[in-house]
């Protein structure tokens, strides 16, 4: 800001013109522009005219006083100035006195009487009005009142109590718990839903025709829906009897007495009356008692001679216009010098937005309040207060902090109205620069925070025991020692006593609490330690959390708020990181015993544990070792009613229990089919809570806010990732066309099995169905055979026999075919026949050995063993080839012969079959029959059958013995291994 310069002289004409414009309603900006001076100069001349007395005066009289003050400032003689000022002051006093007397005149139609109960703020039953004349009987009644609560009663706030001979006849009250206004009148109950607020005037008019059951309820000019029920049929429909006792401000439990502090009114009445007739809806929408009072039949508070005022009651005559206004200040100023971020945070923790005047009147009011704390708040920039606006360096405009919209009103000095990278905040000038706003560096200067008195939420007090007599909800109203005062809904009050923050009760004088300060600038919001005396709680020093956070918000330790979903999400959102502290989900009582199973539900004899098994993969299936390794996800679910849980989320992974060893968990024993324990590797486990029910009512006994869920409605889920290796007795009789069944037994120990029942759901298999040798055909779960609480998990495997078809059966079959094909080799190629057969035999043996090495050796023959054995014995000549056969000539064809070298071909017809006479033996003759039927000796060069000659014609004797065909001889074939 520019350095301070001495004021330049201004002509008297300009002074006169300035005062004239100001008194005629012109703004300081307009005056400065017309006269040619700065706004600060205008405010400097008129600042002392803005006294509280002057603002109450009528317009013309106020202008006269301001002119007198102005002349006093301009007077050259000091004595003359003092005389003028004294005249102005006396004139103002006379005006005020006259104004006050007129306001207290009962003849004014614009005035009403305000009756304040418990006016001194002390809670007492000795504060009420009693109607002195005899109460008249009525067939209809209309009750009108303006009411403003300062505190609620812990029971009900009784407006009117009319007591007859034995009981209440009329009881008109506010039920703050159920948020309704109730009229109980001579057997009827009429309830009107309405949420009454503290410190706010509300206009309530009710017209009820007892005989005709007609009624209308109007609140603040609006017809309200109401519900009427009949409570006592004996009285319903009869006129209201007279002669009883009427009291306002208390509830009678006996005629004129037996008052209770829990039913007493702490607040103000205005324009109260009870009229003995009903009115139409149009008339009661804007009802005024003075317009409808007739004679002595009406009951109203303006006739004070008819009332007995008892105890702490204050009656004042006020202007009716005050009834439509909130009685709280527009702004709350906090005399704590802070940077802009600190000022914003302080208002935020109190649940208040930063002050941003909407017009010149509000700006003037804020400036006047700032003068009171100027000595504590004057910054080096010459400003007192921060304004709730922020500059946008991109657009170059000033924006509202609440909605981000451009400012609709500002009072920025023309030379300091720009937005820059350095100056993005606004502060209000001190008395040297009155009412003017200046752009300010946010982190360089320290004016004080100014907050708008429009709280978003009430202030909640957490950490008090259930028996505590302090209020658990506070509201800001008024100031004391320049700091805000916090009032409870019922009896508590908190204020700054210049040493620390004090909380006391207006009902119990011995009940007090004092905050243990860690810094003189501390405010009670957030977590602080308090020293308590006179309370029902056993602890004398406790941590209390004061927060404005709503139901969906989590209060940080410093009083700021974040959304509840950001609590314990592994990222710090609070400035102090408190949202990631104390994230354990389970509340474990001191009587919890983890070795005992949870109690069963009321409808069950035992605790049910639901078991869910998911096989994620089959890690190993070893035929040689007869072992199987499964990767299994075992999930056990049960409910523990001994526990409560905090802040459960819909996502299960965010509900993990820390240090789960403190809790009872089902101990599942896993064995194979033989009953032997398996090899188990735990690759990871977690215990989470599954959110399934609604939360319990909020418990403010806990300092740290938590949404609590019952253990009886939200099950625990134990998730274990296991690798289980166990023995499986494979049955390979039909290998490789076999099916294998491998089972696991899951059960509890003997003790827990008596108290816990295991219920299994359908298992799942998520891995690949086809393995190297087997395919997973089925996974099933069934109750254990022994009938206990255990479950039996069975996995069925089917052999992928195509491998063996391609690598064993098909090659061996082809070898048989190859061996068999040697039957069709020529007889002369005996060596080739032998070589092919032996090679096929050796390959078949090697193939058999290779296959046998990859499968389990068993004492019994497997199907594949039988196949290979059949191949070894099945390559001999077919049975019908080994038997003796005869041709068409009746000759035996059981033997073949090699060529007969001495049998000539000349003259012999070639035949396809040459037979050998068995009678000739090895030295038989080879003969052939010609086409003419002659038999001649022949000589064959190739293999063929020899046929005996049919005649005694030329014969040739073989020079070589006929050799039987080894492939046709069973004995020789067997020796060759074919």
pLDDT (mean) for 443-471: 92
Q: In CATH, what number is assigned to the domain containing residue 145?
A: 2.60.120.200
**Cα separation, 710 vs 200, whole angstroms:** 39
Kindly state whether residue 540 falls inside one of the protein's structural domains. Answer: yes
pLDDT average, residue stretch 71-89: 44
pLDDT at 548: 93
3-state SS, 31-53, equals HHHHHCCCHHHHHHHHHHHCCHH
Q: What does DSSP say about strands 266-275 and 111-117: parallel, antiparallel, or unpaired?
A: antiparallel
Question: Per-residue b/e over 608-618, b at no fewer than 16 CB within 10 Å?
Answer: ebbbbbbbbeb
Q: Which of these three, 548, 576, 591, is where a domain ends?
A: 548
514 phi, psi to nearest 5 deg: -125, 135
**pLDDT-based confidence at 946, cuts 50/70/90?**
very low
Q: What is the dihedral of CA 111, 116, 120, 122, to 10 degrees?
A: -170
- Asked whether residue 762 falls in the same domain as residue 617, the answer is yes
Compare 481 and 33 and report the one with higher pLDDT: 481
Range of the domain at 819: 802-873
Residue 436 has pLDDT above 80, yes or no: yes
- Asked if 909 and 929 count as a contact pair (C-beta separation under 8 A), the reply is yes
Give pLDDT, residue 325: 56
Give tens-digit pLDDT for 168-188.
889 999 998 999 999 988 888
pLDDT-based confidence at 20, cuts 50/70/90?
Answer: low
Residue 268 domain-assigned (yes or no): yes
* 159 burial via Cβ count (<10 Å: 0-12, 13-18, 19+): buried
Among positive and negative, which fits the CA dihedral 765, 769, 772, 778? positive
**Is residue 739 included in any domain, yes or no?**
yes
In a domain, residue 40? The reply is: yes
Say whether both 307 and 422 belong to one domain. Answer: no
pLDDT for position 29 = 66
Which residue carries 């170059």 as its tokens? 396
Q: Is 860 inside any structural domain?
A: yes
For residues 418 and 356, state if they share a domain. Answer: yes
Q: What is the CATH number for 860? A: 1.20.58.390
Query: For residue 710, is it within any domain?
Result: yes
3-state secondary structure of 64: helix
Q: Stretch 95-110: mean pLDDT, rounded?
A: 44
Checking if the pLDDT of 931 tops 80, the result is: no
pLDDT, position 921: 42
Name which residue leads in pLDDT, 351 or 136: 351
| Residue labelled with tokens 């009582």 | 589
Place of tokens 């005249």: 87
Residues 33 and 122 in one domain: no
Q: Are residues 378 and 520 in the same domain?
A: no
Q: Does one domain contain both 264 and 315? A: yes
Per-residue pLDDT reduced to its tens digit, 533-572: 999 988 899 999 999 998 889 999 999 999 998 998 889 9
Q: Is residue 824 predicted with pLDDT exceeding 50? A: yes
Share of the chain above pLDDT 70, in %: 77
Q: Is the dihedral of CA 966, 969, 975, 978 positive or negative?
A: positive
Q: Is 361 exposed, middle or buried (0-12, 13-18, 19+ CB in 10 A)?
A: exposed
Q: What percent of the chain has pLDDT over 90?
A: 46
Whether 967 shows a pLDDT value over 80: the answer reads: no
- Greater pLDDT, 533 or 850: 533
| Of 915 and 329, the one with more pLDDT | 329
Q: In angstroms, how far is CA 909 from the centroid of its own chain?
A: 108
Q: Which of 139-143, 346-350, 956-960 has the lowest mean pLDDT?
A: 956-960
Same domain, 792 and 806: no
Q: What is the pLDDT of residue 837?
A: 83
- Quick one: pLDDT at residue 846? 84
Residues 792 and 807 in one domain: no
Q: Is residue 344 part of a domain?
A: yes
Which residues, 6+ apart, have CB-to-CB distance to 678 below 8 Å? 670, 671, 672, 724, 725, 726, 744
Termini Cα distance of the chain: 118
User: Can you give the pLDDT at residue 138?
Assistant: 85
| Of the candidate ranges 26-40, 79-93, 681-695, 845-859, the one whose mean pLDDT is the lowest | 79-93
> In this model, does residue 400 exceed pLDDT 80?
yes
Kindly calculate the radius of gyration of the chain based on its CA atoms and give it in whole angstroms. 55
Please indicate, yes or no, whether residues 433 and 465 belong to a single structural domain of this protein.
Answer: no
Number of domains in the chain: 6
948 vs 403, more confident: 403
pLDDT at residue number 517: 92
Distance of alpha carbon 913 from alpha carbon 849, whole angstroms: 43
DSSP 848: H
Residue 349: CATH number of its domain: 3.10.100.10
pLDDT at 240: 84
Residue 967, domain member (yes or no):
no
**CATH at 761:** 2.70.170.10
pLDDT in tens, 193-232: 999 989 889 999 999 988 888 899 999 999 999 998 888 7
Give the domain-ending residue among 518, 548, 578: 548
Average pLDDT estimate for 259-278: 91
> In the structure, what pLDDT confidence band is assigned to residue 56 with cuts at 50, 70 and 90?
very low
pLDDT in tens, 581-603: 988 899 998 889 998 999 998 88
CA 758, CA 747: separation in Å to the nearest integer? 8
Lowest mean pLDDT among 359-368, 799-808, 822-831, 919-928: 919-928
Same structural domain for residues 211 and 348? no
Same domain, 538 and 390: no
Give the mean model confidence (pLDDT) for residues 448-472.
92
State the chain's mean pLDDT as an integer.
80
Last residue of a domain, one of 269, 289, 322: 322
**Rounded to an integer, what distance in angstroms lies between the CA atom of residue 882 and that of residue 35?**
144
Same domain as 232, residue 137:
yes
pLDDT-derived band at 650 (thresholds 50, 70, 90) equals confident
pLDDT-derived band of residue 726, with 50, 70 and 90 as boundaries? very high
Q: Is the link from the previous residue into 596 a cis peptide, with omega within 30 of 0?
A: no
> CA of 551: how far to CAs of 222, 458, 564, 695, in Å?
30, 12, 8, 12
């Amino acid at each position: 800001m520019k350095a301070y310069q001495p004021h330049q002289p201004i002509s008297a004409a300009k002074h006169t013109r300035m005062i004239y414009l100001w008194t005629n309603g012109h703004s300081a900006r307009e005056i400065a522009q017309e006269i040619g001076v700065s706004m600060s100069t205008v405010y400097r001349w008129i600042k002392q005219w803005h006294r509280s007395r002057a603002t109450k005066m009528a317009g013309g009289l106020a202008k006269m006083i301001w002119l007198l003050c102005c002349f006093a400032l301009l007077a050259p003689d000091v004595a003359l100035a003092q005389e003028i000022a004294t005249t102005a002051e006396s004139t103002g006093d006379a005006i005020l006195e006259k104004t006050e007397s007129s306001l207290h005149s009962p003849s004014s139609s614009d005035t009403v009487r305000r009756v304040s109960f418990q006016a001194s703020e002390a809670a007492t039953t000795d504060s009420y009005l009693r109607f002195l004349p005899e109460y008249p009987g009525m067939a209809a009644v209309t009750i009108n009142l303006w009411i403003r609560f300062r505190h609620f009663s812990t029971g009900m706030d009784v407006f009117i109590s009319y007591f007859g001979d034995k009981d209440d006849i009329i009881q008109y009250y506010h039920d703050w718990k159920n948020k309704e206004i109730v009229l109980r009148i001579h057997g009827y109950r009429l309830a009107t839903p309405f949420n009454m607020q503290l410190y706010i005037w509300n206009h309530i008019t009710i017209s009820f025709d007892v005989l005709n059951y007609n009624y209308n309820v109007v609140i603040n000019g609006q017809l309200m829906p109401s519900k009427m029920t009949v409570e006592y049929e004996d009285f319903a429909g009869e006129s209201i009897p007279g002669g009883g006792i009427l009291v306002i401000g208390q509830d009678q439990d006996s005629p004129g007495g037996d008052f209770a502090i829990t039913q007493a009114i702490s607040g103000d009445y205005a324009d109260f009356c009870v009229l003995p007739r009903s009115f139409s809806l149009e008339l009661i929408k804007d009802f005024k008692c003075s317009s409808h009072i007739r004679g002595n039949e009406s009951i109203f508070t303006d006739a004070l001679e008819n009332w007995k005022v008892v105890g702490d009651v204050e009656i004042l005559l006020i202007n009716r216009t005050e009834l439509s206004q909130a009685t709280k200040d527009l702004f709350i100023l906090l005399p704590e010098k802070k940077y802009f971020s600190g000022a914003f945070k302080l208002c935020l923790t109190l649940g208040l937005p930063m002050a941003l005047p909407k017009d010149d009147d509000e700006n003037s009011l804020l400036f006047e309040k700032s003068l009171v704390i100027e000595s504590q708040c004057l910054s080096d920039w010459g400003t007192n207060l921060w304004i709730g606006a922020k500059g946008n360096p991109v657009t170059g405009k000033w924006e509202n902090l609440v909605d981000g919209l451009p400012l609709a009103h500002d009072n920025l000095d023309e030379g300091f109205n720009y937005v820059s990278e350095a100056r993005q905040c606004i502060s209000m000038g001190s008395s040297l620069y009155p009412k003017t706003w200046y752009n300010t560096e946010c982190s360089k200067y320290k004016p004080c925070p100014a907050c708008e008195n429009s709280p978003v939420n009430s202030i909640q007090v957490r950490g008090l025991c259930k028996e505590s007599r302090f209020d658990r909800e506070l509201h800001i109203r008024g100031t004391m020692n320049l700091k805000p005062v916090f009032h409870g809904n019922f009896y508590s009050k908190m204020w700054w006593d210049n040493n620390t923050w004090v909380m006391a009760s207006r009902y119990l004088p011995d009940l007090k609490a004092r905050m243990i300060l860690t810094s003189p600038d501390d405010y009670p919001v957030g977590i602080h330690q308090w020293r308590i005396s006179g309370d029902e709680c056993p602890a004398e020093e406790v941590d209390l959390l004061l927060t404005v956070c709503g139901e969906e918000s989590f209060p940080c330790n410093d009083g700021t708020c974040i959304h509840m979903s950001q609590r314990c999400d592994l990222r710090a959102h609070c400035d102090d990181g408190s949202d990631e502290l104390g994230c354990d989900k389970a509340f474990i009582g001191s009587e919890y015993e983890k070795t005992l199973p949870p109690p069963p539900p009321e409808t069950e004899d035992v605790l049910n544990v639901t078991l869910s098994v998911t096989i994620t993969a089959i890690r190993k299936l070893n035929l040689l070792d007869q072992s199987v390794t499964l990767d299994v996800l075992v999930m056990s679910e049960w409910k523990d009613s001994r526990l409560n849980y905090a802040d459960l989320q819909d996502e299960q992974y965010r509900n993990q229990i820390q240090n789960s060893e403190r809790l009872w968990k089902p101990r599942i024993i896993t064995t194979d089919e033989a009953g032997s324990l398996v090899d188990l590797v735990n690759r990871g486990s977690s215990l989470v809570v599954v959110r399934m029910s609604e939360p319990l009512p909020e418990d403010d006994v806990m300092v740290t806010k938590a949404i609590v869920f019952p253990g009886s409605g939200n099950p625990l889920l134990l998730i274990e990732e296991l690798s289980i290796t166990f023995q499986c007795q494979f049955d390979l009789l039909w290998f490789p066309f076999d099916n294998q069944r491998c089972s696991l037994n899951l059960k509890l120990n003997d003790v827990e099995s008596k108290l816990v029942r295991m219920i299994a759901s359908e298992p799942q298999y998520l891995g690949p169905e086809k393995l190297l040798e087997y395919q997973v055909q089925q996974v099933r779960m069934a109750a254990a055979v022994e009938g206990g609480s255990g479950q039996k998990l069975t996995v069925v495997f089917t052999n992928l026999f195509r491998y063996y078809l391609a690598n064993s059966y098909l090659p061996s079959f082809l070898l048989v075919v190859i061996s068999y094909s040697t039957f069709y080799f020529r007889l002369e190629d005996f060596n080739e026949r032998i070589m092919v057969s032996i090679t096929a035999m050796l390959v078949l043996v090697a193939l058999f050995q290779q296959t046998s090495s990859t499968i389990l050796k068993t004492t019994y023959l497997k199907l594949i063993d039988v196949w290979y054995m059949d191949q070894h014995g099945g390559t001999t000549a077919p049975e019908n080839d080994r038997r003796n056969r005869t041709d068409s000539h009746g000759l035996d064809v059981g033997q073949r012969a090699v060529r007969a070298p001495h049998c000539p071909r000349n003259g012999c017809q070639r035949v396809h079959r040459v037979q050998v006479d068995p009678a000739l033996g090895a030295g038989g003759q080879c003969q052939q029959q010609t086409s003419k039927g002659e038999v001649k000796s022949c000589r064959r060069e190739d293999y063929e059958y020899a046929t005996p000659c049919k005649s005694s014609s030329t014969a040739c004797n073989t020079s070589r013995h006929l050799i039987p065909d080894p492939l046709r001889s069973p004995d020789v074939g067997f020796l060759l291994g074919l």
